Chain A
Amino acid sequence: MRVQVGDVRLFFDVEGAGLVPDGPWMRPRPTILLLHPGPGFDHALYKVLLGPRLAPLGQVVYLDQRGNGRSDTSPRERLTLETWADDVRAFCDALAIERPVVLGHGFGALVAAAYAARHPEHPRRLVLVNGGTRVVPGRSVAVYERLGGAAAGEAAKMFYDQPNERTFAVFMRHAYPHTTSYGTAEAATRATWNPDVLIHWRRYAPGGFDLRGRLGTVRAPTLLLAGEDDPELTPAGSTELLQALPEGIARLRTFPKARHGVFRDAPGALDELLAFLAEPDQEAGAG
């Protein structure tokens, strides 16, 4: 399905009902909104593990963010972290989704953090997986080199230095296979790619935003999950993220040997997530 959100139509998919029979009542379940990594990628990877595991806990909504997957794209000046963050709120308003749990991975975690800072009353909870506060190419290149040797490091560096279709192809061949420990072939074929948006991101992201000093408004309880061997958003980014969030609302778990797909790289990460979602809401009035 796709729905109009401001100037674009956004694709979303759903798993699990929002209202379920429970004796004489229809019981509402929370919305769990999943923001995919990328950009230039789409929601498909969540359909394999995370979506089905979370559907018993709430209504899982998969969103293809602006410029990604089956959603509309828009001019470059509307492909910014702020726009993506505000889209999350506007998408929820278009479908009357209230107080969602928002889980973002990689690029999706950056969007989720910016959204929570700009709309602090909106999310019920945040889960920031393999996240960060900014994109620092040198950190990423160093980890690719450590994991995949000089060819991987060089491919990652070239794609940041001169983002274009050719360097994207080289990145996909030499660096991307090291992004996770379990192989990325199926995730690659299942995704509806938009290389233009990823190329735009590589130009825009390194100097385009910095969430340090910008997350003081976040109020939702937040779980951060990071991989020690994540070559995309390295664990230093999650540490920065924890420091940027108000004290007392967030906790960070970093998993050794885990890369950019922390749930499959480290099975303990999923247990950590399920435990976090099972905790009762602290604030009065939240169900």
Chain B
Amino acid sequence: MKVQVGDIRLFFDVEGAQVVPDGPWMRERPTVILIHTGPGADHSSYKDHVGPALAGVAQVVYLDVRGAGRSDRSTPERWNLDTWADDLVGFCEALEIARPVVLGTAFGAFTAVRARFRHPGFCSRLVLVSAVARYSHTRSVTVFDRLGGPAAGETAARYFANPSEATFVEFLRVCVPLYTRTALSPDVVARMEMNIELGAYFDAAESRTFDLRDEVRDLDCPTLVLAGEDDPTTTLSGARELVSAMPPGIVRFEVFDHAGHGVFRDRPEAIELVRDFVSAAAEPSA
């Protein structure tokens, strides 16, 4: 399905009902919106594990962001975190999704944090998977080097120095397989409606400059942060930097060993934590 949000139509998909029979009544369940990584990827990689697992406790909404997947492309002037964040809030308004739980991975997590910062109170909870305060290419190159040897480190350094569709091809071949410890199935990649131009644009532009530390200092909704020790792109030290800027008591930080980017591919059981966290968003009805 698609819905008009400002100047564009955004693609979304849904799994699990919002209102379900419960004895003689209908019970409202929380909504969890899943924001994909990339931004040049799309929602599809959530469909094989994360979404179906959460549909048992919530209405799961998969969203393709502006420029990605099956949503309208828009134009590069509007490919920035402020716009993506406003789109997310505009999307919720267009469909009257009130106080959702927002789960984002990497780019999706940055978008979720920015949306909460620009629109305080719009979400009830945040799940930030493979999130960092800011990108540090030095840290990232170090982990690529550790996981894949010097060739991987050098390929990553070349791409970071000059992100383009051309350098991305080698990065995709040498470095992307190191994102997770469990090999990414070729089917998962094939199923993505990728926009490489969009990914490269973000990597060359805002990914170099954003810093979320000041945006989480007044974080006021329960937040779950999941990080993988062997994540070469959104590194563990980047995640620590983000968490240490958050107010104490609002965040639960879980680090998984033998886990790379996105956590769940290497540690599928991590979804249990998220399921419990999302269930807790179900407030008793008035």
Contacts and interface: CB of A to CB of B under 8 A. Distances in A.
B48 to A, nearest CB: 5
A18 B95 contact: no
Interface in A1-58: 1-4, 9, 13-21, 23-26, 44, 47-48, 51
A97 interface: yes
A190 B17 contact: no
A17 B47 CA distance: 9
B47 A1 contact: no
B18 interface: yes
B26 interface: yes
Interface stretch (B7-15, B124-132, B147-155, B198-206): B7-15
B26 A44 contact: yes
A284 interface: no
A9 B95 CA distance: 9
B15 A9 contact: no
Contacts of A96: 1-3, 9
Contacts of A25: 190-191
A14 B2 contact: no
A94 interface: yes
Contacts of A26: 44, 47, 191, 193
Interface string B10-53: 00011111111100111000000000000000001001100100
Contact of B17 (A14, A24, A185): A14
B249 interface: no
Nearest to A43: B19
A95 B1 contact: yes
A44 B3 contact: no
A189 B23 CA distance: 10
A40 B18 CA distance: 21
B25 A21 contact: no
Given A24-B190, A25-B191, A1 B96 contact: yes
Interface string B44-74: 1001100100000001001000000000000
A279 interface: no
Given A13-B18, A44-B26, A48-B21, A3 B187 contact: no
A283 interface: no
A186 interface: yes
A3 B12 CA distance: 13
Given A18-B13, A96-B9, A190 B21 contact: yes
B282 interface: no
B94 interface: yes
A13 B13 contact: no
Contacts of A13: 17-19, 59
Interface of B: 1-4, 9, 13-21, 24-26, 44, 47-48, 51, 59, 62, 94-97, 186-187, 190-191, 193
Given A13-B17, A24-B191, 11 more contacts: A3-B94, A13-B18, A14-B15, A14-B17, A18-B14, A19-B13, A26-B44, A26-B47, A51-B17, A96-B2, A192-B26
Interface pairs A-B: 9 shortest CB-CB: A24-B190, A96-B2, A14-B14, A189-B24, A1-B95, A2-B96, A95-B1, A24-B187, A17-B15
22 contacts: A1-B95, A1-B97, A3-B95, A3-B96, A13-B17, A13-B19, A14-B18, A16-B15, A17-B14, A17-B15, A18-B1, A18-B13, A26-B44, A44-B21, A47-B19, A48-B21, A51-B17, A94-B3, A96-B3, A185-B24, A186-B24, A189-B25
